[in-house]
Amino acid sequence: MRVITGKARGRRLETLAGEDVRPTADRIKEAVFSALQFEIEGRLFLDLFAGSGQMGIEALSRGAAGAVFVDESRDSAAVVRRNLQSTGLSENASVMNMDSIGFLKMKSGKFDIAFLDPPYNTGLLQKALSMITPVMKKNGVIVCESPLDEELPESCDDFVADRTYRYGKIKITMYRHREMLEEQ
């Protein structure tokens, strides 16, 4: 696992070992950032269920103004901190070692991009989607990684599913505010 491009290009990232860990594949990460390439610079990124932090680190490497990493696992939070340190991207980052749903209940901050990749088929993705819109800017985008067979809602408040990309057994669903879609 590595940073694809930007300031920290080519840097290897640490990940936790074990069956509970499922890092986003490089080809999926590359596809997500290709779809978002003109929306990252100067923006605030939320890496919910952060794991190793690779998605938020990629955003920072590509010029995001800041990133917040949220993961309830103490080990994952430690890995995110080490990865931020090794890539030199700690300055504009905040690591929250807490439950992601609890973080959303705090309604802290307004994000431009949120990446949600909880453990599959646990209901956490649907729960997070039902709570995330208060922390999103109107022109923001919510990006969800899930297994192909997991049902996601067509909308969450004023954010609607805009695009879905399929990569083998994985799908990426992007939600955007309905008013932003109407303006396109």
CA distance 120 to 143: 15
Tell me whether residue 9 is in a domain.
Answer: no
> What range defines the domain where residue 66 resides?
26-183
CA distance 184 to 180: 7
The confidence band for 158, taking pLDDT boundaries of 50, 70 and 90, is very high
Q: Tell me how many domains the chain contains.
A: 1
Per-residue pLDDT of 102-150, as tens digits, reads: 999 998 779 999 999 998 889 999 999 999 999 999 999 999 999 999 9
pTM: predicted TM-score of the whole model, two decimal places:
0.93
| Cβ burial, residue 80 (10 Å; 0-12/13-18/19+) | buried
CATH of the domain at 50: 3.40.50.150
**How far apart are alpha carbons 94 and 86 in whole angstroms?**
15
**Does residue 18 lie within any of the structural domains?**
no
Range with top average pLDDT, 14-28, 58-72, 103-117: 58-72
Q: Let me know if residue 13 belongs to a domain.
A: no
Residue 2 domain flag? no
Check residue 181 and give its pLDDT. 74
